[in-house]
Amino acid sequence: MSEEKLIKEIRRKAHLYDQYSGCSQSVLLALQEGLGIGDGESFKSATVLSGGVARRGETCWALLGAHMALGLVYGRERMEDTPSYKRAMTAADEICDGFQRKLWEEFGFDEPLSSTLCSEIQSKIYGRSFNLRDSVELEAFLEAGGHSDEGCYKVCGIAAEVATRRLLELKGD
């Protein structure tokens, strides 16, 4: 399979998997399957990262799944391995920047995102953020398209695509 087809397939799967909720796991699983990384334990560990960490609207959960995949491939295995830590952190920062840029391009935001916060991304996409821990707010989020092709499913696909591109670039280095 060509790299471009692989990237599209991983993005498609991340988009599709989010129908079951759990953006971090959607992205991580698509990357695990597409790149042959990680295992069931790493997938399981991403369970509570959804909704911006336990549905608190903090760092985008799809991005966290992408970063977990990066850590599986380029993370350090020993605390003393500072060079691996630095290399992984540089790549993580590049994935964040690419993710913000791609969201801006694909969603057509008026201006770039200033952060990777779930709540800011929600505000840009839906015109407001939602408290996903509150059942009424969660229902409003879903009614606004939170779990739809033009909502979080798309965000998951974008996170997976950006991470896949960077991971493949690092593999070639």
End-to-end CA distance of the chain: 20
Number of domains making up the chain: 1
Residue corresponding to tokens 């965000």 = 155
What pTM was computed for the model? 0.93
Q: What residues pair up with 167 in beta bridges, in sequence order?
A: none
Please report which helix (H) or strand (E) contains residue 4, including its range.
Answer: helix 3-17
User: For residue 85, what are the domain limits?
Assistant: 3-172
What's the rounded Cα separation, in Å, for the pair 1 and 7? 10
Q: Cα–chain-centroid distance for residue 158?
A: 7
Q: pLDDT tens, 54-100?
A: 666 678 989 999 999 999 999 999 999 999 999 999 999 999 999 99
Q: pLDDT tens, 131-163?
A: 988 999 999 999 999 989 999 999 999 999 999
What's the rounded Cα separation, in Å, for the pair 77 and 72? 10
